[in-house]
Amino acid sequence: MTMETQTAKILDGKALAAKIQKELAATITESQLKIGRPPGLAVLMVGDNPASAAYISNKERACAKVGIASFGKHFPTQTSQTELEDVIAELNQDEQVNGILVQLPLPKHLDAISLLHRIAPDKDADGLHPVNLGRLVRGEAGLRSCTPAGVIRLLEEYKIPLLGKQAVVVGRSILVGKPMALMLLEVDATVTIAHSRTQDLKTITQNADILIAAAGIPGLITAQMVKLGAVVVDVGINRITDSSGKSRLVGDIDFSTTAMVAEYITPVPGGIGPMTVAMLLQNTVSSYLQATSN
């Protein structure tokens, strides 16, 4: 197959997320008969960030769809650190709540990391508590960071071999890049992490069998940077405004040109975004089953 005629197959995160939601709904229906209550997720939002509000309504709709009770709380911008810490302490003790999530970004006067540390590790729906990240480093069972877990699940669904493959992760955030690299190591890929200070990024990405872009830079990865037949996963979600004033979502990868080179590619939107929400629901249900089996 020549480079000119090749068109990548789409890794459809939206379709897989719908499948996972259906499976979770069946699990919840069955478990609820024994347990007597549904799983519960509490999403805490502070202030009036429109993007955050949209994400939260999306999460709450997904919860309703599978039968997870929402215990969302929306706080005014001026809410203090202590007030939020007290709310988290209450939710940690609340048996109806199995997952707790603080929606980022927070107003500048609040310390997000300190709040995250207050969440009970077994209710850490985002999989970002140091205890859960530590479990990941050690290869132990625990709640996994939603976005990278969604990437791995999507690659598994399409039976993409990872064992021994060269994987390059562009981005080193604690949200995606670092846990992504660890999860790829867990499935026996050989992993390189690149970032904004990396010299000659193109040479590194051209060696990748699996290329995961999570830098938050629109169009960072072009077709010239991608190996023919690579699997390309776009974790970037960037809102850009064109010359006519219309805004749209784009990833970190130049989709139209890269699709001519890659074997598989994820779209933005419709790729990893829905998988992140599916893994959030999965984490909440896992916590629920774990808590009620003890």
User: Which among 12, 122, 124, 126 is annotated as catalytic?
Assistant: 126
DSSP state of 234: E
Contact between 88 and 100 (Cβ < 8 Å): yes
Residue 103 is a catalytic residue? yes
User: Which among 103, 122, 123, 165 is annotated as catalytic?
Assistant: 103
Contact between 285 and 274 (Cβ < 8 Å): no
Contact between 276 and 146 (Cβ < 8 Å): yes
Check whether 173 is labelled as a binding-site residue.
yes
Residue 59 is a catalytic residue? yes
Check whether 237 is labelled as a binding-site residue.
yes
Provide the 10 A C-beta neighbour count for residue 81: 14
Q: Which residues contact 274 (CB under 8 A, 6 or more apart)?
A: 13, 14, 16, 17, 18
* Cα separation, 267 vs 162, whole angstroms: 20
* Cα separation, 252 vs 212, whole angstroms: 9
User: Which among 12, 21, 59, 123 is annotated as catalytic?
Assistant: 59
Catalytic annotation, residues: 59, 103, 126
Binding-site entries for NADP(+):
171-173, 237
Binding-site entries:
171-173, 237
